[in-house]
A = this chain, B = another copy of it.
Amino acid sequence: MTDAPQFVAPLIADLVGDAALAAHFSTDAEIAAMLRFEKALADAQASCGMIAPAAARVIADACDAFAPDLESLAAGATRDGVVVPDLVKQLRTAVGAAHGGQVHLGATSQDVIDTSLTLRLKEIASDIEARLRGLCDALAALAERDGGKGLMGHTRMQRARPITAAQKIEAWRAPLVRHLVRFDEMRPRLFVLQLGGAVGDRADLGAQAQAVADHMAQALGLASTPRARHAQRDATVEFGQWLALVCGSLGKLGADVALMAQNEVAEVTLASGGGSSAMPEKNNPVKAEILVALARQAATLAGGLHHALVHENERSGAAWTLEWLLLPPLVVATGAALRNARALIGDLSFVQSMPPFP
């Protein structure tokens, strides 16, 4: 993958980007997922008798061997607003005259693009979920080790009453556990096949429409719905809000650590902080600050994503494109936040500042 995007300046991509999650938005990954769609479509149509089994085999082989003309794709995307018309044209040529016309049969660009995104969101979400679980475990281990230490509780930026490190850690961990529950709840809404054709009613798929959809969904590991959701963007937007909830909760962790790491407060120490070009003796709570920055970036992007719900008619070029502009950096921000949080917890030791409770 030579074109992995990072959505942040390359010099700070290891700091505030996330190569693993960003890779799902590379050209390779996008096209591979689109080809999975076309292959599954042909296969489903063959098994429903809409196209010949031989056609499906040739299409499958062409998808497996496909090497796109990237320059042509980029030009196509710029002209059409979507990459699919040019991709389908290339794929039909690769399939050959005999069966080329059976590629993409009864489907439309949005079917390919939305399903391709969903297939990748499934991998993305699985990675995020694993990181969330790992972070919850790391927090539980930290509580096990340091939880009994006495700290000063602070309310409204003033010393209040003693608490324990366990309480602090619980305030970080409990929302993450709830985020995992939320994710399970939204899963059936999110991982859904999009298949609707030109205006979303599957008209060109005829009587076999639902059977084709069911077959494809099964093959792709997605849920099948009785209708396409072309202009119904709630699942995507909901997922974006969930990402921002995760980032926001990690922003609270970051804000807390940055405050506790103040020299004057010194309720935590950090094994590896950042140095300064002017003051090499400093131990800056860089990862904690980054968590706050990423939380605010995610809040920003998620707020904008709500506007994508105002998706006019049977397909909105404007509202749909807005999703493409806001969701990928939001995914990357979440990945960066989870990675930084995990590293921060690894660095962190509580320093008892108050006698422990009886």
Question: Which of these, B9, B30, B304, contacts A324 with CB under 8 Å?
Answer: B9
> Does B12 contact A5, Cβ atoms closer than 8 Å?
no
Question: Which residues from B are CB-within-8-Å of A74?
Answer: 11, 13-14
Q: Once bound together, how far apart are the Cα atoms of A309 and B319, in whole Å? A: 16
Question: Which residues from B are CB-within-8-Å of A293?
Answer: 317-319, 321-322, 325
The secondary-structure label for the interface of chain A is helix
Residue A229 at the B interface, CB < 8 A? yes
Q: Once bound together, how far apart are the Cα atoms of A295 and B234, in whole Å? A: 13
Asked whether A3 and B10 contact (CB < 8 A) given A81-B289, A255-B312, A280-B85, the answer is yes
Stretch from A41-49, A133-141, A175-183, A215-223 that touches the partner:
A175-183
The number of times this chain is found in the oligomer is: 4
| Number of A positions contacting B (CB below 8 A) | 145
Contact with B along A221-256 (1 / 0, CB 8 A): 000000101111111011001001100110110111
Residue A77 at the B interface, CB < 8 A? yes
Residue A100 at the B interface, CB < 8 A? no
Q: Once bound together, how far apart are the Cα atoms of A170 and B227, in whole Å? A: 9
Residue A278 at the B interface, CB < 8 A? yes
**A–B Cβ pairs within 8 angstroms, 21 of them:** A9-B26, A12-B83, A14-B74, A80-B274, A85-B275, A108-B279, A109-B277, A153-B314, A154-B314, A161-B203, A174-B227, A231-B252, A234-B249, A241-B302, A248-B306, A252-B310, A252-B312, A259-B313, A299-B307, A300-B301, A303-B304
